[in-house]
Amino acid sequence: MNSMNLPKRSTEKPKWKGSWKDNGPCINHLNQQFNPNTPNSVWASDFTYIKVNGTFHYLCVVIDLFSRKVVGWNISNRHDVDLTKTAFEKAYSDRGEPAFVMFHSDQGSEYTAFTFRQTLERCQAIQSFSKKGYPYDNAVCESFFRHMKRECLNRKTFRNQDELRLYCFEYINRYNSKRPHSSLGGYTPDEIENFYMERQE
């Protein structure tokens, strides 16, 4: 790494502030069934932290488990309900406002907040939660962030949020359209969705 002038992988984590509030039951409807048969039936979401010019920023993604495609994402310098709500609303709009999507996440306050639950209810989405402290219940999102950090984020220093946003846009676009996935038999998320649409014709 030194000979190639590559930065060391950061292990620093932000200090979380705030408290968890009980805004209703947190039921796991997904139960690690990560391979639905149709698009827009199950979405999973999570967020991670990225340092930008000495300050932590947060990337939230929404992934369609059918194709492993990132269908919505958002970046903010705050990990609050606006971070997750905006990512969901982008996915909901871009995917044609599908009804009865199961939306799976951890039990962070960004997902249990009353305003977020109201948004899901308005969009007829069914909310599902991982067990506390058990990342295996959201393994697809965990895997996405692990690959993204290893392949690009931990090798890059960002000067501002605009630069981070552009870099994330480029990576996610490549991840969806060009990066083959072993869990998809070597195909890309876009190819899997195209195959599905061709079978419906």
Longest dimension (CA), the chain: 54
What would the pLDDT profile of 138-191 be if each residue is shown by its tens digit?
999 999 999 999 998 888 889 999 999 999 999 999 999 999 999 999 999 999
* Per-domain boundaries in the chain: 42-200
Determine whether 22 is exposed, middle or buried from the number of CB atoms within 10 Å of its CB (0-12, 13-18, 19+): exposed
173, 165 contact by CB (below 8 A):
no
Q: Is 42-200 assigned to CATH 1.10.10.10?
A: no
60, 47 contact by CB (below 8 A):
yes
The per-residue pLDDT for 2 is 47
- Mean pLDDT within 68-97: 97
The per-residue pLDDT for 23 is 60
Query: 14-23, 71-80, 98-107: lowest mean pLDDT where?
Result: 14-23
Q: Is the pLDDT of residue 13 over 70?
A: no
Question: Tokens 């977020």, residue?
Answer: 116
pTM, rounded to two decimals = 0.88
Average pLDDT, the chain: 90
